[in-house]
Structure 1
Amino acid sequence: MKKYAYNEITLMQYIFLIHGAQVGIGVLQLPRILAEKAGTDGWIPIIFGWMASVAASLIMIQIMKKYPEGTLFDLCTKYFGKWAGKAIALLSALYFAYSGFIIFQRAILFIQVWILPGVDGYVLMILFAIPTYTIARNGFRIIGRYAELVFFITLWMPFFYWVALRENHHWIHLLPLFKDMKKVLLATQSTSYSFYGFELTFLLYPFLQKKQKASIGIIIANSLTMLVFLFVTIACFVFFSPDQITLFNEPTVSILKVVEFRFLERMEIIFLAFYLMVLSRTWMPYMYGATFCTSWLFGKQDHSKHLLLLLLLMVMFMYFVVPTFNQNDLLQGLSAKIAFPFIYIIPLFLWIYLSIHERIRGRVTK
């Protein structure tokens, strides 16, 4: 009997869970960051970042194939012992909780700046914590259905970029091409941070109904993310001049200021209000992932109490500590640097070790 059969997810849910976890706050700032680091070639690192994320994702899939009915913690327990599994579960819980909180906090800061400047951060977090708890407490299947729904009901959003570009765009802003490939390669690391989210496959894999399609699913998810990043980055690059784009903290939103209709003004506010649903697809899987790890650590089946406690702790933190964008930027940078070896480097060595271990064991058995 499958250990996680009660909460199985379809291939579509698997794709949109990973894609939703990747497309979050990074989209709003990515064009500016790439323009600062790689200039007019800033869109090229997105392709390199996609290649790196796909390669790392496929390695993770190969690791999980070694123990298809369990999570990474079950696999580590099998190969390295009980305490290794518990240590990985604890570190994963801290990582997912930390990442989810940073994304949640950033979303609150955006709301305070663009939509509700007079409302305290902890009040906004309480308002968003209620639907987060309602959806996330039911597991990956319900979060996956929510991610599917949000994807399809927000397909209209790129239309407003087309309207903005129709008013003003200059393709010459992309020239010259391949001006400084050294800067492009250095900017690839920043782009690879934006693809974070595929590490959720370590948790999602045992829930996937058709595990033989896990590889194609994660390639599709990463490719969707790459298309979104390319679209918004190129749109901002041809709209703003190479010097002008660096003056806007969120050029992805600022570009929409020129979009006006006779019946509606300040389109960027409407856009950002809908984009909050997109952001929620990012923090929900991380928060549930954190509580899934802690529940596994303590041998509990019910994740809802752990999720409630996590959300309460976040609200309390927001009440006593008033965050700023600079503080959140520092937290994001720290998270990205800490997570990089655990997402890209350690899985590679783990896959090599497991492959060698199986070959040696096979020879001994013969």
Structure 2
Amino acid sequence: MIKYAKNQITFMQYIFLIHGVQVGVGLLTLPRELAEKAGTDGWIALILGWLFSTLGSLIIIQVMKKYPNGTIIDLLTHFFGKWVGKIAAFIFVLYFAFLGSIVFVREGLFIQFWVLPQTNLFILLLLLSIPSYLIVRNNITILGRYAELVFFMTTWVLFFYSTPLKEAHWLHLLPFIKGGWEPILAAAKTTTFSFLGFEIAFFLYPFLQKKQKASIGIVIANILTLAVFLIVTIVAFTFYSPDEITQYKEPTINLLKIVEFRFLERLEIVFLSLYIFVISTTVLPLFFSTVLSASQLFGKQDHSKYVVWLLLLNLVYVLLLPQSLGGNRQLQKEIESISLILVYVFPICLWVYLWLYTCLKRRVLK
């Protein structure tokens, strides 16, 4: 019996869910972060980050093929026992809750800074919690449809980034690898974190209708993410000078200030209002993975009641501790090492173990 047969997602929804988690708030600051570490060669680091994320993604899919009808927690329980599964569920609850909270709070901080500076952050997150609850409490099918809708609803905004190219100076990109490979490799770590999000395949795989397409789907998701990152980064690098770009905290938004219409003064406000939906496609799958892990930790079928507690904890956290963009970025840096271990080291070790286990089992049967 397939445990998750009733709640399934299509191939397109699978792609857009993974892509949505990857393209979150990091896109707004990515060009500046790359320029600070590798100058205008930062776009090369994006390609390296994409290669690493694609390899990591494919390894995760190979691991999940060993137990296709369950999540990573079900897989670990099957091969290592109940208590290992419980420990893994607890770790994933903490990881996704912490990561989701960072993005959730930063979403509110961006809205406060750019759109509603006089509004209290707690009020903003309280308002964001209402639609978040209404979506996450449902099954993965609803979440997949939402990710699909947001993708087609917001992708057209990228065409506005062709306007700054009229004043672009392509010589800013030359010469290539001007500072050697060392700063590019240093920047690759930043891009590796920007591509994180594909690890939700640990929980999406059992819901996918056509599991034979899981590998190509996750590769397509990574390619879409690379395309978005490259477009915005190259436009920023060619429009701003190498020194000027580092002076803007969110150059992705500042680029849109030169786009003008007779009926609209500040296009960047409209962009950010739409981008809230894009950020939500990062937050909501992370929250769903959190509550799904929590339901498996406590052996419950219904995950909806854990959504309320998760959102309440986020609101209490914001209410008790002062929040800032600088502090939020510091929390992100602290989770980077944990993320790299959970996303790259853990799947590789598990894949090797399961491969050896399968080989030894075949020999014993012979």
Q: Same fold (TM over 0.5)?
A: yes
Query: Could you tell me which residue of structure 1 aligns to residue 196 of structure 2?
Result: 196
Q: Secondary structure at the match of 2:209?
A: coil
Query: Could you tell me which residue of structure 2 aligns to residue 53 of structure 1?
Result: 53
Superposed displacement of residue 164, structure 1: 2.7
2:289 aligned with 1:289, yes or no? yes
Superposed displacement of residue 345, structure 1: 1.2
Query: Could you tell me which residue of structure 2 aligns to residue 136 of structure 1?
Result: 136
Distance 2:6 2:117 in 1: 43
2:115 aligned with 1:115, yes or no? yes
TM-score, length-normalised on structure 1? 0.98
Distance 2:184 2:164 in 1: 27
Query: Could you tell me which residue of structure 1 aligns to residue 172 of structure 2?
Result: 173
Superposed displacement of residue 189, structure 1: 1.1
Superposed displacement of residue 302, structure 1: 1.1
Task: Mark the runs of 5 or more structure 2 residues left unpaired by the alignment.
Answer: none
Query: Could you tell me which residue of structure 1 aligns to residue 227 of structure 2?
Result: 227
The answer to whether the 8 Å contact 2:161/2:235 transfers is yes
Superposed displacement of residue 278, structure 1: 0.3
Distance 1:164 1:268 in 2: 13
Q: Secondary structure at the match of 1:287?
A: helix
Query: Could you tell me which residue of structure 1 aligns to residue 362 of structure 2?
Result: 362
Query: Could you tell me which residue of structure 2 aligns to residue 87 of structure 1?
Result: 87
What are the residue-to-residue correspondences of 1:208-357 with 2, within 5 Å? 208-357=208-357
Distance 1:271 1:66 in 2: 43
Distance 1:155 1:54 in 2: 22
Aligned residue identity for 1:271: F
Aligned residue identity for 2:40: T
Superposed displacement of residue 316, structure 1: 1.5
The answer to whether the 8 Å contact 1:121/1:322 transfers is no
TM-score, length-normalised on structure 2? 0.98
2:146 aligned with 1:146, yes or no? yes
Superposed displacement of residue 139, structure 1: 2.0
Superposed displacement of residue 136, structure 1: 1.2
Query: Could you tell me which residue of structure 2 aligns to residue 35 of structure 1?
Result: 35
Deviation track 1:122-165 (CA, whole Å, cap 9, x = no partner) reads 10011111001111111211111001000001122012211233
Deviation track 1:323-355 (CA, whole Å, cap 9, x = no partner) reads 011110111101112111111112111101110
Deviation track 1:53-73 (CA, whole Å, cap 9, x = no partner) reads 010000000000000001111
Distance 1:87 1:335 in 2: 19
Distance 1:176 1:287 in 2: 43
Q: Secondary structure at the match of 2:138?
A: coil
Aligned residue identity for 2:28: L
Q: Secondary structure at the match of 2:249?
A: coil
Alpha-carbon RMSD? 0.8
Superposed displacement of residue 78, structure 1: 1.4
The answer to whether the 8 Å contact 1:46/1:229 transfers is yes
Distance 1:198 1:155 in 2: 20
Deviation track 1:170-193 (CA, whole Å, cap 9, x = no partner) reads 111111112221211221111000
| Percent of aligned pairs with the same amino acid | 54
Deviation track 1:289-331 (CA, whole Å, cap 9, x = no partner) reads 1000000111111111100111011112112222011110111
Q: Secondary structure at the match of 1:70?
A: coil
Task: Mark the runs of 5 or more structure 1 residues left unpaired by the alignment.
Answer: none
Q: Secondary structure at the match of 2:176?
A: coil
The answer to whether the 8 Å contact 2:90/2:294 transfers is yes
Distance 1:184 1:313 in 2: 39
Q: Secondary structure at the match of 1:156?
A: helix
Superposed displacement of residue 13, structure 1: 0.5
Aligned residue identity for 2:101: F
Deviating more after overlay: 35-44 vs 175-184: 175-184
Deviation track 1:199-254 (CA, whole Å, cap 9, x = no partner) reads 00000000001000000000000000000000110010011000000001110001
